[in-house]
């Protein structure tokens, strides 16, 4: 008989993998869930197992050594039956249950068949990452216009370049690895339009100096762009996309300091694909209904409030990675380890990381958080971005709600995106405002951080699967496996983070 799990980790990206590995090393039984087909999340997204030889993507990745080490640690956990790895499990709700948590997921390993499962554990760690933050512009709904993260995902997950002549726009260092990756696959990246100016970094040099790995990484990308003759133009933006069946050109303008296009600077550039990214929005859908306190991050997002051990304000609930503020994979790994160390301490596990090790982890997190904050402040959403919207520009693509309709609702007194949704249906469609939410928020209440609407259903799930949940008792949390003697954890895991300059990370 298998024993019940001590910890459920949702999300098998850098934070969740690191958390699960640390918890296993401390002797806990762990369930690790992810909606993807492979470990790694977005950052270490890989083609499915069977396609890995056919689609080589190693050169697109950073920190693969760490990824492989984590994969090995997790494989060892599975060998000893202490890790229940559940890929292709889409978590639609997490609720308090008794002294712990019940995590509800749709098992889609045999898609299109879908089975509802319930997993239970006294502690829950949410590491659900973030997704591209989008700002609408005329033509952004044309086929061929993608998010920067979407371009990257196609490249890393399937070896597919979305176009042969691509323009990138938005803000933030993430545009650089996307450009470099596309260029490495022979794509002509005609321009990278960065809305911010690099000078903004000089206002806060401290975090940059204390994170030399980050600027070394940036310099690496800059060199790659020079090598591939990709022009990087600060203070510019893609203000429109044009085309019939799909995008054929973009309009690029120079920006005034407030982000409004400078009159007379617009240029039309022929492209067959576009990638745009305005930073990221943390994926908080599981956390908000659990009642976690949120706090404002410097990038305009509300994020989960955690203590120095990654504990949320809900007892037994931990968060790591981008849900606590967008800061990149290196930070996510450190936070995952730190969160798992807190789980070990709070559950009085036999093996708790050494004090010295924890101090080093915390110092790394503080230093990298400061960098993330400086990055956010150097790459803000341009305050006047909405000046490039026409009243006809569609903002909510699911329900086809235009900027003009949203402006009318605001003029009628709607104070925030929730009320705009009630009055206009913006955010009521398939994506439930995940795509347009930040933009609608900016159009109504820009001064406050963006708090996503509460979503009690974190991902669509069939009513049939839910109905079966009502009629049948849920399966046991951990599937019975052959009883293997627990293997003593390798003494080296978790590896103490030396962290003297991360050179293997990008800011995603």
Partner 1 sequence: MHEEEPLTLKVVVVGAGVVGAACAFHAASAGLDVTVIDRGPVGAGTTSRGEGNVLLSDKEPGPELALARLSRTLWDEAGRELGPDTFELEAKGGLVVASSAESLAALQEFAARQEAAGVRVEQVDRVRDLEPHLAPGIPGGVHYPQDAQVQPVLAAAALLRAAVSRGARCHPGEVAGAVTARDGGRITGVRTAAGAVLPADAVVNAAGTWGGEVGRRLGAPVEVLPRRGFVLVTEPLPPMVRRKVYSADYVANVASSDAGLETSCVVEGTRGGTILIGASRERVGFDTTMNTAVVARLAAQACRLFPFLRGVHLMRAYRGFRPYCPDHLPVVGPDPRVPGVVHACGHEGAGIGLAPATGALVTAHLLGRPWRGADPADHTGLLPDRLLTPEGAHQ
397 in contact with partner 1 (CB under 8 A): no
Contacts (CB under 8 A) with partner 1, residues 294-333: none
User: Which of 150, 159, 234, 289 is the binder for partner 1 (CB under 8 A)?
Assistant: 289
Q: Which of 462, 495, 503, 504 binds partner 1 (CB under 8 A)?
A: 462
Q: How far, in Å, CA of 15 to CA of 40, rounded? A: 9
Phi, psi of 393 (to 5 degrees): -65, 125
Q: How far is the CB of 479 from partner 1 (least distance, A)?
A: 21
User: Which range binds partner 1 by CB under 8 A, 184-192, 251-259, 348-356, 463-471?
Assistant: 463-471
Among 48, 315, 415, 501, indicate the residue that binds partner 1 (CB under 8 A).
415
Q: Does the footprint of partner 1 cover residue 490 (CB under 8 A)?
A: no
- Tell whether residue 413 is a contact of partner 1 (CB under 8 A): yes
Among 51, 55, 64, 95, binds partner 1 (CB under 8 A): 95
Q: Which is nearer to partner 1, 195 or 461 (CB)?
A: 461
CA-closest candidate to residue 42, choices 136, 150, 175, 117:
150
The CA dihedral of 331, 168, 283, 428, to the nearest 10 degrees, is 170
280-282 vs 273-278, strand pairing mode: unpaired
**Closest CA relative to residue 74, chosen from 127, 124, 23, 5:** 23
Residue 405 within binding range of partner 1, rule CB under 8 A: no
Q: Helix 437-445 vs helix 403-411: angle between axes, to the nearest 10 degrees?
A: 40
Q: Is 102 in the site for partner 1 (CB under 8 A)?
A: yes
Tokens for 242, please give them. 């044009």
Instruction: Tell me: does residue 293 bind partner 1 (CB under 8 A).
Output: no
Binding window for partner 1 (CB under 8 A); candidates: 96-104, 223-231, 319-327, 486-494? 96-104
Site string for partner 1, 39-78 (x = CB under 8 A): ----------------------------------------
Helices 355-378 and 329-346, axial angle in degrees (round to 10):
140
CB of 467 to partner 1, least distance (A): 4
Q: Tell me the three state secondary structure of residue 121.
A: strand
Size, binding site for partner 1 by CB under 8 A: 38
Q: Which stretch binds partner 1 (CB under 8 A): 180-188, 316-324, 347-355, 412-420?
A: 412-420
Which residues contact residue 348 at a Cβ distance below 8 angstroms, ignoring those fewer than 6 apart? none
Residue 284, interface with partner 1 (CB under 8 A)?
Answer: no
Which residues fall within 8 angstroms of residue 448, CB to CB, at 6 or more apart?
A: 296, 441
Q: CB of residue 28 vs partner 1: minimum separation in angstroms?
A: 25
Backbone torsions φ then ψ of 440, nearest 5 degrees? -65, -40
Stretch of residues binding partner 1 (CB under 8 A), selected from 242-250, 382-390, 425-433, 491-499? 425-433
Counting contacts by CB under 8 A, is residue 470 touching partner 1? Answer: yes
Rg (CA), the chain: 23
Give the Cα separation of 323 and 309 in Å (integer).
14
Alpha helix (H) ranges present in 189-298? Answer: 199-202, 205-210, 212-227
Q: Is 464 in the site for partner 1 (CB under 8 A)?
A: yes
**Using CB under 8 A as the criterion, which residues of the chain lie in contact with partner 1 when the complex forms?**
92-93, 95-96, 102, 104, 116, 118, 289, 291, 399, 412-415, 418-419, 422-423, 425, 428-430, 432, 455-457, 460-464, 466-471
């Amino acid at each position: 008989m298998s024993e019940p799990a001590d910890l459920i980790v949702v999300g098998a990206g850098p934070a969740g993998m690191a958390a699960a590995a640390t918890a296993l090393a401390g002797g806990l039984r762990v369930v690790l869930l992810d909606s993807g087909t492979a470990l790694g999340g977005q950052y270490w997204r890989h083609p499915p197992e069977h396609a890995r030889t056919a689609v080589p993507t190693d050169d697109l990745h950073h920190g693969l050594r760490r990824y492989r080490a984590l994969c090995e640690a997790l494989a060892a956990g599975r060998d000893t039956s202490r890790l229940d790895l559940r890929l292709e499990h889409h978590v639609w709700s997490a609720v308090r249950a008794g002294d712990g948590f019940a995590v509800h997921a749709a098992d889609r390993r045999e898609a299109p068949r879908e089975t509802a499962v319930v997993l239970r554990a006294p502690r829950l760690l949410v590491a659900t990452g973030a997704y591209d933050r989008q700002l609408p512009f005329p033509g952004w709904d044309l086929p061929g216009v993608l998010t920067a993260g979407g371009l990257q995902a196609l490249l890393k997950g399937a070896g597919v370049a979305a176009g042969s002549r691509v323009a990138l726009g938005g803000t933030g260092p993430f545009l650089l690895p996307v450009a470099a990756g596309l260029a490495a696959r022979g794509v002509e990246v005609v321009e990278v339009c960065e809305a911010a100016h690099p000078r903004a970094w000089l206002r806060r040099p401290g975090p940059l100096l204390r994170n030399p790995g980050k600027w070394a990484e940036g310099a690496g990308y800059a060199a790659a762009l020079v090598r591939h003759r990709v022009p990087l133009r600060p203070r510019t933006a893609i203000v429109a996309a044009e085309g019939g069946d799909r995008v054929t050109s973009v309009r690029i303008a120079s920006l005034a300091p407030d982000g409004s296009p400078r009159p007379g600077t617009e240029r039309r550039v022929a492209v067959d694909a576009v990638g745009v990214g305005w930073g990221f929005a943390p994926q908080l859908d599981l956390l908000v209904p659990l009642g976690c306190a949120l706090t404002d991050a410097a990038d305009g997002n509300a994020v989960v409030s955690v203590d120095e051990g990654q504990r949320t304000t809900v007892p037994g609930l931990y968060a790591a990675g981008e849900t606590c503020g967008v800061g990149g994979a290196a930070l996510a790994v450190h936070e995952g380890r730190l969160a798992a160390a807190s789980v070990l301490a709070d559950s009085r596990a036999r093996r708790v990381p050494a004090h010295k090790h924890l101090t080093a982890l915390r110092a790394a997190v503080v230093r990298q958080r400061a960098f993330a904050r400086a990055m956010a402040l150097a790459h803000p959403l341009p305050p006047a971005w909405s000046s490039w919207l026409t009243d006809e520009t569609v903002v909510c693509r699911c329900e086809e709600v235009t900027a003009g309709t949203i402006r009318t609702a605001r003029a009628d007194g709607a104070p925030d995106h929730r009320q705009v949704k009630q009055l206009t249906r913006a955010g009521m469609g398939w994506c439930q405002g995940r795509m347009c939410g930040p933009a609608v928020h900016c159009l109504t209440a820009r001064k406050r951080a963006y708090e996503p609407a509460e979503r009690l259903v974190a991902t669509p799930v069939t009513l049939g699967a839910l109905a079966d949940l009502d009629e049948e008792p849920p399966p046991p949390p951990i599937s019975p496996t052959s009883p293997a003697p627990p293997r003593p954890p390798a003494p080296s895991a978790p590896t103490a983070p030396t962290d003297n300059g991360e050179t293997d990370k990008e800011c995603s």
